[in-house]
Structure 1
Amino acid sequence: MPGRLEHRVALITGAGSGIGLESALLFASEGASVVLVDVNIDTAEKARKLLVEKHPNAKAVTVKADVSKEEEVKLAVETAVKEFGRLDVMFNNAGIMHPADDNALNTEERIWDLTMNINLKGVWWGCKHAILAMRNNPIDESKGLHKGGSIINTASFVAIMGAATPQLAYTASKGAVLAMTRELAMVHAREGIRINSICPGPLKTPLLMDFLNTDEKKNRRLVHLPMGRFGEAIEVARGALFLASDDSSYVTGTDFKVDGGLSSCYVTPEGEQILPPPSSLV
């Protein structure tokens, strides 16, 4: 049975680890040719080798890019089109959560600017050049290929509700991603370009664990999680696969929450057991 992304081409930024890596592996398993983009080319290449090891028939290339720089994002998109002839899925996933990001009084301007340049401007560049490429996608009805495509922007639960641990620049950047996604989705809906945000809850990834670097910080997050645990990157990747595929053909302009119920909760009952993730995810 063909995969949900058979004959499709997907570009993923921040593909070297976390959500990006898990999405690259999952998209390849569903038939996609994958462009793995990361600021660290060694990390991206390691991810590509793992992808090919797991899926020997998959096609994948790597591109080094700092998403805050338009020319590098443009080159990554051009590489996808040059290597595979089209771009069907753009997953603007790269981002940072700087350990010096704090509240309005303590966050330095350089941290604010760095965060905005990567988390917000980087998504803008990704959307811009993906839209330009998707407008030119060749049509092949026999393979179910058409003009347009799916753009997925990684936001966060903190774009919807405040964070217990101050991270002003990060929160502001992710809120802006939501607003930008909604507007772009409306502008380009009739071109067959669907644009959605995905809003992960707290995940057990290096990005968040490095930021929540004390038990106190971790526990302040866990108390708000109805499931009693941090999420796994693969769980978000599965949400991204839904948005990337035709399963979500009537979905655009959404903020798709993959947060373990966090955004529907006030505070979980004290003393509840901290549940491990399902064994299928380990």
Structure 2
Amino acid sequence: MDQPQWRGRDLGTRTVRYDDRDAILYALAVGAPATDLDLVFEERLRVLPTFALTRAQWAPDALGEAGAFDVATAVHGSQRLRVHRPLPKEGELELTARVAEVWDKGTAAVFEVVVECAYFAATWSIFAPGRGGFGGERGPSARARPDGPPDLEFTLDTEPEQAALYRLLGDRHHLHIDPEAAKAAGMPRPILHGLCTLAAITLPLARRAGAHPAGLVALDGRFAAPVFPGDRIHVSGWNDGEDLLFEAAVDGTTVISGGRAQFRVTT
């Protein structure tokens, strides 16, 4: 099927279930300490909004399985999340997914997969080598790095076992656990999930914004380079009105660019 014909494709509706154990496991997997009882203790639990992305991973996977791109070479290019209201501690989510857009990058195509429900809207951008050149529009450019020195900086240590833990939430692509699969993809060893890295950054960002991590209402980030479990991430942030713009790097190499987070701040 020609790439433009994927635009607008309905990927279906699914009802997904979860309980407080799933939400607590997720919080631990993205770096919440055991002392943050409102993230890891069921009696006080507030569910991290980024947990929703683990429930919706089936949608971009379904597009690859349908033949839109080669699942062996396509990569997760960027992620967007817009939160409508807080997730309950447990329950059901009815998710509807579609292909919102297909951009032509010349040698590659970018597929935008949108998943929506009453609680959130999320967009996966999947970069698919070899699928471009069909004469379509290139799409929007990446957000430029803000001018001037950062308003805040911090480091974040990932854990050696973090990818093995995070994959229990649903993304079991072999690249994150199997050394042979990582080598086949051109990586020296298994890599950390991009969504794990992005979510982990929101925890300290929230604190520096005077907010709770569960108060996240908007999040964007582009995955510029892989992160390996155990890496130390350096995060730089800029205040931009209600938004915090950020970039993340490992040993001087940018791993997340075009970052944007907004939190609901309560007094």
Shared topology, TM-score over 0.5?
Answer: no
TM-score, normalised by the number of residues in structure 1: 0.29
Which structure has more relative contact order (CA 8 Å, sep 6+)? It is 2
Higher strand share: 2
